[in-house]
Structure 1
Amino acid sequence: MSVETKFSIKDLENLSGIKAHTIRIWEKRYNLLEPERTNTNIREYSVSNLKKLLNIAFLYNTGFKISKIAALTESEIINEIESSIPKNREEHAITILKTAMFEFNHPLFSNTLFKLEKTKDFRALFFDVFIPLLNELGTLWHTGTIDPAHEHFISELIKQKIIINIEALQKKEASRELPTFCLYLPYNEIHEIGLLFAHYEILKAGFNTIYLGTNIPLQNLEHVLKHHKKIIFLSYFTVKPEKRTIQEYINEYNKAISYHKNQKLWLMGRRIQKTDTHTLPSNISTIKDHQSLIKQLKTLKKL
């Protein structure tokens, strides 16, 4: 696949974890990469350069000396990687998924996950591969190494994968004696992956769900309460609400539906991590992460 993306040496450092100074030494001493030069003599690296460096970094991080790697042909490097995969399966998968992102390569993404799914269930896949990958993408985003097209491409593929697994669980009808969860993102919030995986875990635990999705004003929640007497709302705050505090949002939430007795709100996401739980109303709970959500669901089911 021919891709015109160009990278600076700083981009390569961010993507591979190998310091720019070290990359320059490897270039000079072992001729490992062949960057192009701009009119101002600045190094520019192609996707093929990046793929090669990622493979080299993988072997280097598994204990290979750089001098030994430099003596290998590209096919020999691939063979060594394949021999090392059983012990470093997740790390290698993340490397391949980053390559798929930069190549906008859907088949590479799908085939990589297909191999992992032979040995992992979806929960393990999410925790061992998707979360580390997404955390790394967050860092790459803030350093300017990836652009919005790359981030959206890989995020949408991950969302599709979660949705497929959600659909498989939705074929089973949950007990009507259990509370219903209504999942939504606050107004102007569009980062959906965390909420989608929460939806997957709630269904897996055997609860009923109503999934409203992104960008939901508080007033919309009232319509759900017209049809369900016992409900737990769950929302995921990644970047919103931004201009107001979490406490202000909670106050607005309780004001909007204060006349409904049998409702609760569970909050997840980066924006609620520093919330003082001691100041929250009794119907509001914060859930630290998805592992904590799984434990909370088990407890709720026993009640």
Structure 2
Amino acid sequence: MGIKTQFSIKDLEHLSGIKAHTIRIWEKRYNLLRPERTDTNIRSYSLENLMKLLNVTYLYNQGVKISKIAKLNNAEIESHIKEMGLQDTPEVYAVSEFKSSMLHFDPQLFHSTFNRLEKQYSFREIFFHVFIPLLNDIGLLWQTGTIDPSHERFISEHLKQKLIVEIEKASSKQPSKTENLFVLFLPLNEIHEIGLLYVNYELLSNGHKTIYLGNNIPTENLSHLMNHHDKMVFVSYLTVQPEKENLSNFITHLNKTISENNDNKVWLFGSQIINYDLEIPSNIKTFSSLSQFINEL
């Protein structure tokens, strides 16, 4: 699959939050965008059209009238955005910049935006106030087909890189809480690693010992750790796997695998577990959110 460079008016609506009907009015009344048209007269927008609309939307959401924006050239629009970005909440501006870095595949913009945030906020604040809203937006764009896999992968890999740097910093400190060893893993076919990486970061930052196994780990392989450690807490983040119909079997198998030692426990996170309504063994704890986890940590 090639990288997406042409966008439909629905794509523009999903990315900008401006209704397709309004975009058409802006086109007709202000000549704001210049789409190409297919043989069947369907609008097709270039990346340049899309970026202009996102810039226009940013100013429009800041209260600038569309009639005034329409009179500005691209350089003037960008100048106004920079001025307003300084006045706006840095989190909102950062999410917009990260999306722009994704659409342009621009790592420098990603890093410069992060570096600016890092001067003002703790990593936890950046994660909760910028990364989570960004990931929620990216998820919606992915589900609607507005962005393709390369866009999603670009953002997720850059977020993982930042997490790994913070994990390295936290790992350099001597653990102060050694009662339990935390073993972090994702089950088979689960590749969404950002949530689990963040849990690892918080555990290390709070002085706990962890072993990070990463993604795609068969449950039975966890038994190998029994020969080396006791009093373990197995931590997993179930975003899309196991699927709902297989979740009960996964929990049963996981509990059986780790229960050779009665001191072992399981902590489960993620959207798959949140709505799970069957009985869960007493040594398995579920978290409805990362905020709940931090509050209880």
**What's the RMSD between the two structures over aligned residues?**
1.6
AA matched with 1:70: A
How far did 1:175 drift? 2.5
| Larger CA deviation: 158-167 vs 172-181 | 172-181
Deviations 1:70-117 (A, max 9, x none): 122322222222222232322222122112112111111111111111
Aligned with 2:57: secondary structure?
A: helix
Q: TM-score, normalization: structure 1?
A: 0.93
SS in 1 for 2:186: strand
Q: How far did 1:61 drift?
A: 1.0
- The answer on 1:21 being equivalent to 2:21 is yes
CA distance in 2: counterparts of 1:144 and 1:81, whole angstroms: 28
How far 1:179 sits from its partner (Å)? 1.3
Structure 1 letter corresponding to 2:158: L
1:179-258 equivalent positions in 2, closer than 5 A: 179-242=180-243, 244-258=245-259
Deviation per residue, 1:32-55 (Å, 9 max, x gap): 111122233221111111111111
Calculate percent identity across the aligned residue pairs.
54
Contact preservation (8 Å) 2:178, 2:209 = no
SS at match of 2:64: coil
Provide Cα deviations, 1:219-250, integer angstroms capped at 9, x if missing partner: 11111122111111100001111264433211
Query: CA contact under 8 A between 1:4 and 1:46: conserved in structure 2?
Result: no
After TM superposition, the score normalised by the length of structure 2 is 0.94
Distance 2:4 2:133 in 1: 27
CA distance in 1 between partners of 2:163 and 2:4 (Å): 30
Counterpart of 1:294, as a letter, is I
Moved more, 116-125 or 244-253: 244-253
CA distance in 2, matches of 1:31, 1:93: 29
What is the CA–CA distance in structure 1 between the aligned matches of 2:237 and 2:100, rounded to whole Å? 29
Distance in 2 (CA, whole Å) between partners of 1:170 and 1:73 is 49
> Following the alignment from structure 1 to structure 2, what is the Cα–Cα distance between the partners of residues 23 and 88?
26
Assess, with a 3 A threshold, how the Cα gap between structure 1 residues 58 and 176 changes in structure 2: closer, same or farther: closer
Query: In 2, are the aligned partners of 1:97 and 1:109 still within 8 Å (CA)?
Result: yes
User: Who is 1:300 aligned against?
Assistant: none
What is aligned with 2:63? 63
Counterpart CA distance in 1 for 2:177 and 2:129 is 33
Moved over 3 A (4+): none
The Cα offsets for residues 131-153 of structure 1, whole Å up to 9 and x where unpaired, read as 11111111111111111111111
Stretches of structure 1 that go unaligned for 5 or more consecutive residues are: 298-303
1:155-183 superposed Cα distances (whole Å, 9 cap, x missing partner): 11111111111111111120363311100
Whole-angstrom distance in 2 between the partners of 1:12 and 1:96: 17
Give aligned pairs, total: 294
Report the CA distance between 1:10 and its aligned residue: 0.7
Amino acid at match of 1:54: L
Q: Which residue number corresponds to residue 170 of structure 2? A: 169
Partner of 2:295: 295
Unaligned runs of 5+ in 2: none
The aligned amino acid for 1:160 is: Q
Deviations 1:263-298 (A, max 9, x none): 000000010111237x2211000011111111121x
Partner residue in 1 for 2:267: 266
2:102 aligns with 101
